[in-house]
Structures are given as structure tokens and as C-alpha cells.
Chains A and B, each alone.
Chain A
Amino acid sequence: AQSVAQPEDQVNVAEGNPLTVKCTYSVSGNPYLFWYVQYPNRGLQFLLKYITGDNLVKGSYGFEAEFNKSQTSFHLKKPSALVSDSALYFCAVEPGANNLFFGTGTRLTVIP
């Protein structure tokens, strides 16, 4: 079965420290990979995507993500966390045929 896993429900990090939000997937073929962010009472907003090419992709608000094909992972990173980064983050994988699989989300809290 195809699936996306976000192993941490909650990640806490101090302001100014680097952050990582983990995502692994089990999908056949070469899927497209996405990260979205959700703020309270809002819809999901696109952060970044990996389609092909360089394994490190850069996105909005200083976020980046590292694609690792051998580990089937796509971890979200930021060198220096801001309090305003506190939100719910979703990893999503599209293997094709108009199927987008979402992880269950990771709540990031940045502590001042």
C-alpha cells in the first residue's frame, strides 16, 4: 500500500535553532514530493516541491527540503527557526494518476 509517514506528531524547537520535520514515503515509481503548511483556521499553503534534479530544494519563508531516494525521505529543514514558523506541516506525495497522499501532519512549535 502506498503511504506517507510523518513520524513525529509534535516538534518543539527554540527560536534561532535549526529545525527538521521528517517525512518518509512508500510509493512506487518516482513520485513528486510536496510540503505544505497550515496556520490556524486556514487552508494548506504550498511551501516547496521536489520534481527532479538537485536533492536540496528551496522554498518559501527560508524553508528547504532534502530528498533522499535510497531512504525514501523528504525532510523539511530551516537553518534558524522563527516563532512565526509555528504551524502544522504536511508532507504530500504524488505518484501520478492524480493521487496525492498526505501525511498525518507534524505540529511545529517554536519557543521564544
Chain B
Amino acid sequence: NAGVTQTPKFRVLKTGQSMTLLCAQDMNHEYMYWYRQDPGMGLRLIHYSVGEGTTAKGEVPDGYNVSRLKKQNFLLGLESAAPSQTSVYFCASREDRSDQPQHFGDGTRLSIL
């Protein structure tokens, strides 16, 4: 049972390059989330989705785009990477009930030079 899988695990980019982070879940969850984790700041929500074909902005959406074309996948895109986007990115999924916990992937460590 894979749960939430993120690819890639590590990536180094140059400023201005673009890339897409992939999140896949096999639990048939409706809700999916993208967070970034920075030292001393906890997790901050970038974008989320409450179902296939839907997306919404979180706390820190600028510089990122997302797509949810299939229920099991949630993609996070950086169109023009900046050093401030150096972070660890986590994807999570959850059933469509607020009293249920989120299930997290193991993260993507992204460095922008």
C-alpha cells in the first residue's frame, strides 16, 4: 500500500527554470494539498484541491500553479523558479471529512541556485 508518493525526491534548479512536482495517491481521497516546509515556519499551504478538476489557493500561492486532471494525481508547477522557492515540498491527501487526518508523502527537496 503506497499511500502518497512524490516524485522526484530531490532536485536542483537554476533560477528561471521550470519544473513540475508530481503527487500520486492510491487511497481514492478527494482532497489533496501541497505544502512547503521551511525551518522555523512549520508547514504552509500553497494550493489545494477538493476534487478532480478543482484547485484553490492556499496561504502562499504566488509563483506556483497546480492541476488535478485525475483524482489520484496533483501536480505542482514552478514556471520560473526563484531562490526563495528553495524548500521541502510535501503533498498530502485526505478523505472529504474535516475530522480525518491528512496523509503525507515523504517530500521533495528542491534547491534553486
A36 and B103 alpha carbons, distance in the complex (Å) = 10
B104: CB under 8 A from chain A? yes
Whether B4 contacts A43 by the Cβ 8 Å rule is yes
Whether B99 contacts A90 by the Cβ 8 Å rule is no
A35 and B33 alpha carbons, distance in the complex (Å) = 18
- 1/0 per position for A71-112, CB-CB distance to B under 8 A? 000000000000000000010001010111011110000000
A90-B42, A90-B43, A104-B41 known; A96 and B98 CB under 8 Å? yes
Q: Which residue of B lies closest to A104 (CB)?
A: B42
- 1/0 per position for A20-55, CB-CB distance to B under 8 A? 000000000000101010000111111001010000
A34 and B94 alpha carbons, distance in the complex (Å) = 14
Whether B106 contacts A102 by the Cβ 8 Å rule is no
A30 and B104 alpha carbons, distance in the complex (Å) = 25
Whether B50 contacts A98 by the Cβ 8 Å rule is yes
A43 contacts which of B44, B45, B99, B107 (Cβ < 8 Å)? B107
Whether B45 contacts A100 by the Cβ 8 Å rule is yes
B74: CB under 8 A from chain A? no
A94-B98, A96-B98 known; A102 and B43 CB under 8 Å? yes
Contacts of A41 in B (CB 8 A): 106-107
Contacts of B101 in A (CB 8 A): 34, 36, 46, 49
- A residues with CB within 8 A of B: 4, 9, 32, 34, 36, 41-46, 49, 51, 90, 94, 96, 98-100, 102-105
